[in-house]
Structure 1
Amino acid sequence: MSPTAPELPAPSLPAPRLTPATAAALAADLAALPYTTAAVEELLGPVAAAALDREHAEPARRVVARVLASAPHDDGDPGSGARRGLAALVSVWMLGDAADAADVAAALPALGLDGAREAGLVVKEGGGTVRGIVDLSPYEADEPGRMWVASDQTALQRRGPLPEDHVLGIGRASLTLAGATQRRPVARALDVGVGCGIQTLHLLAHAEHVTATDLSERALEFTRFNLLLNADVLGLDRQRLEDRVRLVTGDMLEPVAGERFDLVVSNPPFVITPRTDPDAPVLTYRDGGREGDRIVAELIAALPEHLTEGGTAQLLANWEIPAGEAEIPAGAAEGGDGTGPTPWDVRPRSWIAPGMQAWIVQRDSQDPAGYAETWLQDSSLELDPHRYEAAYRGYLEDFAARGVAGVGFGHVWLRRPVDDGAQGRAWTVAEELTQPVDEALGAAWAAAVARRDRLAAGAPDGAGDPALAALRGLHLRVAEDVSEERHGRFGAEHPEVILARQGAGFRRTARLDTATAGVLSASDGELSVGQLVGAVAALLELDDAGRAGLLAAIRELYEDGFLVEAAQ
């Protein structure tokens, strides 16, 4: 390295460690304080809490400083001591600042200050203060419940760029995947690229056993820490974690070669990073070390061999969007909606193995410059202008050399259908949903898959289409969250545009014609779809092609959740 080269980030400290006894003590302390998301938000107030969520700490630092500057026990306020303790933990573990050792010790009476130091949670500083060396934040979900999650300190807490072995905490992507995962009871689940363990914590609420893999030993150590700390809410025996969880080191699916699972989830290191410089640092929490989007392509292609019959996989992914038009490569999975590929979905479609069912959702896309800016900011490289400019140029040159016009981001859902045909044959759906959707998308997605399965279970009719035969016999009603909008010119006798809009789930909007609007208006569960389509077709004098088109439109509205089965 030349004398003028910028200094690289310092390597991370060892991951924190707990024993079953110290884990129980720390959990008791945090619960008693209480160290919860609600308590932290109440302490900071809405402005500072929102700013901290945007990774701006100064408003929170002002609030914490004010609380810690108050007298240890304000007259007439018996809760002031608890507030001081909470403020001290927020300071050391959420802000990366120092706090008085006595305040931290008072907040952790069971673990003790020495116990926190031995666990690798704080270090002593001069003047009787301690500083946190990890991020330990409260986390709450409907399932499993209130928890705490430890990870490496963020760039905000470190006040500098992240080291290569950084273990990410509770990020937007992690929450997105957790919310989108279809929760169902399973025997065996797999978390590929476990990180600090967020997905595994959720899986334990509905999986009998979870295997978690990661290339990073530090990541697995953080996961073990979080499992021990949250054992009570997860229903784990701290002395026998291995009864329900297995942590294994290795690259992606290599550690589970030959094994099959009922559910696989993964927030893989999908970020596309130029690989032209062999000495360039690789942030293991987000960079897979492959060129372009190959790591996602390899994972999706390999997943079918690790799924049981009826087993599903859900992951987040990036895919490159090639410049110019393209076609689906030969051998790609059949199915889809018949409209042909659009440029963004060509590559992810090509990764789906024959015989699989797949649902690909693009939530966002960026041009090469915007993509580079996003991920350079994520690693806080703008704090080092020299490295930032060099890395930015590397991104643009890499994308240009491979003819990449943009990068898409979204979800991939896969299923290996059961052999008896009850879940239908192979199909692939690719759709772009850029509108806001529910954070807890998993239930709506599971219901959508169940509706497709319902149609797949139909028996062939005279036209030979089992799905249409099943659809004709269904008694449907408009879903509770769906509203109707009509738009027309002033004075017009009839509306020019009729819309059906979902208020939950995927929050889709469907444009209706007179016939489909008529069917929806009459869908109260009394008559079957076949009866309704026949009546509306007769009223509007539709020919055979019009009837077929109306039935196809009702099928799409049913599959998308605008119509649901009525209680019989």
Structure 2
Amino acid sequence: MPRSHYEFTAGNTPDAPRSDLPELLTALAADLRRLGYTLDGVARLLGPSASAALNRDQIIPALLAAERAVREDEGAAALAAVVRLWLLAEPQERETLDAALPGIRAEGLLELGLLQPVPGSGRLAAKADLRPYGWDANEDGSGGAELWVASDLAAHQQPGVLRHDHVLGIGQASTTLVQTTIRRHTERALDLGTGCGIQSFHLLHHCEHVTATDISERALAFTRFNILLNAEALSVDPARLEKRVSLRLGSLLDPVAGEEFGLVVSNPPFVITPRRPGEEAAEQFTYRDGGMPGDEIVSSLVRALPDVLAPGGTAQMLGNWEVPAGAEWQERPQSWAGPDVDAWFIQREQVSPEQYAETWLQDASEGRDRQHYRDAYEAYLADFESRQVEGIGFGMVWLRRPVTGGQVAVSRFEEITYPIEQPIGPHLGAAVERSDWLAANDIEDAHLLVADDVTEERHQRPGAEHPGVILLRQGAGLRRTNLLSTELAGFVSACDGDLSAGQIAGALEALLGGSMGAVEDGPDGGFDAGTFRGALLADVENLVRDGFLIPAAD
């Protein structure tokens, strides 16, 4: 098998935590669990303000809070020491760590590659970040998890520019993808560009087998360490890892060529970075730079992902796309999605080339060298100018391979930049189900209800006889707002599940008769019932598609 495509089983990769020492991993997990090194435990230790600051990568409030907690309660010293070590990157005395983590002790942490000695000092410093992670149980009590995640130290935890093979920890993009993914059971899932393994953690809770790929050996080593450290919580047998997890080294879809999956998730290296002639791969930040010019990494994946989807299989990913001068943002994404694939793009943000350069130069701490920052900033602007790019969009992508050809039910390209409910995945899944329902049913025969989270607003000038604006608002999910005509408002008010949509439309035809602003398209300019009915039911379909109206249960 070629080097670009093989099973990764190494448990001792240079500059990555070791995953070939099961006794030490078991001891570490037991110590962290006993200590209460969890999301809730750390939050209680630091308090809400310092915890919020730490989430913004500001460590000073957390340092002060940890010191205060120890002064007020000596019993908090052990947890505070571990928080200072890994979350705040503060070196600790060996004796302090031995007392806090008595099962593995400092010597075991050194052997695992999680610590390193501080030169000229008896203290030990974090060689990697190790932090709690997890999610709450579902309403039925299933699905919750308390885990720990190792990754490289972040920019705020160490000096200098990040190493080019930096393994990213729990970032905003990875949590966005977690919240966006529509969770459903499937036999085989693919985590494309796994990084430190966050997406795989979640996939293992609702998929039988997960294949995790990455172009970086260090990333796969971190993923292997994290899965084995959390083996019990992830229902993985360390002695039979391959039964549930396959780790593949290689670029993009090369490691899974010829295979099919029911679900693919990917937080790919989508950052648009200037390319230089003769540039070596080692000069790129592998966690974010795909090595292709412009937005080709995202466009190539959108085009290729359907090839690894089983019939009915879905893919979800995040991405950037360029918006050329004078073009609408969706023009490029629309050209990537094939005619036989369900596609849904949601643009969440659009920034200028200057804002984009500033974001990603700061991300890798490249502003610490003034001349380097100037040169890199200039290169970003020149790169975008060469393609006449005036904006860069960021958003969510959902793709599906239909069970049979020619049955595309979803084709949506929309911009939603305001706050939405999180996690949004369940609401996206419900929207897909409604689109499928619309494709399979005649709206005339549908019995509809107003969704529980929907409210109506009416606005009118003082003294006016009728409202000038009627709005429907969603309180959950994508939190859309829809402007209603008088006729459509009347239709919605009658949706109690009793009458069919066709019956309600017929009643409105008889009631309005063209006298209240209905469509005037008849041969003599009068009321055309057919045109009115068609336009009204088309609007009703849109309200169902967006979740304002839902089919009544049979």
Q: Same fold (TM over 0.5)?
A: yes
Instruction: Specify which of 354, 362, 366 is matched with residue 381 of structure 1.
Output: 366
Q: Which residue of 1 aligns with 2:489?
A: 517
Deviations 1:479-513 (A, max 9, x none): 11111111111222221111111111111111111
Partners of 1:355 and 1:426 within 8 A in 2: no
- Bigger CA drift: 271-280 or 256-265? 271-280
Change in 2 beyond 3 A, CA 1:131/1:67: farther
1:457 aligns with 2:440: yes
Q: Which residue of 1 aligns with 2:5?
A: none
Instruction: Specify which of 322, 329, 334 is matched with residue 349 of structure 1.
Output: 334
**DSSP 3-state at the match of 1:161:** coil
Q: Percent of aligned pairs with the same residue?
A: 53
Instruction: Specify which of 358, 361, 365 is matched with residue 350 of structure 2.
Output: 365
Partners of 2:460 and 2:466 within 8 A in 1: yes
Give the Cα separation in 1 of the matches to 2:249 and 2:50.
39
Deviations 1:120-153 (A, max 9, x none): 1112335542211111111111345111111000
Partners of 2:340 and 2:405 within 8 A in 1: no
Give the Cα separation in 2 of the matches to 1:490 and 1:562.
29
Deviations 1:355-399 (A, max 9, x none): 111011100001111111111111111122111111100010111
- Bigger CA drift: 41-50 or 241-250? 41-50
Give the Cα separation in 2 of the matches to 1:379 and 1:510.
41
Partners of 1:214 and 1:248 within 8 A in 2: yes
Q: Which residue of 2 aligns with 1:550?
A: 536
1:27 aligns with 2:36: no
**DSSP 3-state at the match of 2:461:** coil
Aligned counterparts, 1:272-311, within 5 A: 272-276=272-276, 278-279=278-279, 281-311=283-313
Gaps of 5+ in 1: 1-11, 326-342, 459-469
Partners of 1:144 and 1:202 within 8 A in 2: no
Q: Which residue of 2 aligns with 1:461?
A: none
Partners of 1:144 and 1:234 within 8 A in 2: no
Give the Cα separation in 1 of the matches to 2:452 and 2:277.
55
Partners of 2:357 and 2:380 within 8 A in 1: yes
Quote the offset at 1:13 in angstroms.
6.9
1:425 aligns with 2:408: yes
**DSSP 3-state at the match of 2:223:** helix
Partners of 1:43 and 1:87 within 8 A in 2: yes
Quote the offset at 1:530 in angstroms.
1.3
Q: Which residue of 1 aligns with 2:211?
A: 211
1:96 aligns with 2:67: no
1:476 aligns with 2:476: no
Aligned counterparts, 1:76-115, within 5 A: 80-81=74-75, 83-115=76-108
Give the Cα separation in 1 of the matches to 2:325 and 2:107.
58
**DSSP 3-state at the match of 1:115:** helix
1:413 aligns with 2:398: yes
Give the Cα separation in 1 of the matches to 2:372 and 2:512.
67
Q: Which residue of 1 aligns with 2:50?
A: 48
Q: Which residue of 1 aligns with 2:525?
A: none
Q: Which residue of 2 aligns with 1:436?
A: 419
Quote the offset at 1:111 in angstroms.
1.5
Aligned counterparts, 1:201-240, within 5 A: 201-240=201-240
Give the Cα separation in 2 of the matches to 1:124 and 1:425.
59
**DSSP 3-state at the match of 2:499:** coil
Give the Cα separation in 2 of the matches to 1:202 and 1:305.
23
Q: Which amino acid aligns with 1:531?
A: Q
Q: Which residue of 2 aligns with 1:193?
A: 193
**DSSP 3-state at the match of 1:291:** coil
Gaps of 5+ in 2: 1-12, 137-142, 519-528
Change in 2 beyond 3 A, CA 1:52/1:278: farther
Instruction: Specify which of 59, 62, 69 is matched with residue 61 of structure 2.
Output: 59
Quote the offset at 1:238 in angstroms.
1.4
Q: Which residue of 1 aligns with 2:4?
A: none
Deviations 1:23-64 (A, max 9, x none): 221111111110011111111111111111111111112222
Partners of 1:20 and 1:239 within 8 A in 2: no
Quote the offset at 1:66 in angstroms.
3.9
1:122 aligns with 2:115: yes
Q: Which residue of 2 aligns with 1:136?
A: 130
1:566 aligns with 2:552: yes
Give the Cα separation in 2 of the matches to 1:251 and 1:48.
40
Give the Cα separation in 1 of the matches to 2:350 and 2:408.
30
Give the Cα separation in 2 of the matches to 1:414 and 1:67.
48
Aligned residue pairs total: 518
Change in 2 beyond 3 A, CA 1:346/1:505: same
Please list every run of at least 4 consecutive aligned residues from structure 1 whose deviation after the TM superposition is greater than 6 angstroms. Answer: none
Partners of 1:500 and 1:512 within 8 A in 2: yes
Quote the offset at 1:277 in angstroms.
5.2
1:316 aligns with 2:318: yes
Partners of 1:144 and 1:201 within 8 A in 2: no
Q: Which amino acid aligns with 1:45?
A: G
Q: Which amino acid aligns with 2:314?
A: T
Q: Which residue of 1 aligns with 2:264?
A: 264
Give the Cα separation in 2 of the matches to 1:533 and 1:386.
68
Q: Which residue of 1 aligns with 2:255?
A: 255
**DSSP 3-state at the match of 1:64:** helix
Quote the offset at 1:211 in angstroms.
0.4
Q: Which residue of 1 aligns with 2:386?
A: 401
Partners of 1:186 and 1:263 within 8 A in 2: yes
Quote the offset at 1:425 in angstroms.
2.8
Q: Which amino acid aligns with 2:537?
A: L
Give the Cα separation in 1 of the matches to 2:278 and 2:452.
55
Quote the offset at 1:85 in angstroms.
1.2
Partners of 2:409 and 2:439 within 8 A in 1: no
Quote the offset at 1:426 in angstroms.
5.9
**DSSP 3-state at the match of 1:434:** coil
Quote the offset at 1:420 in angstroms.
7.6
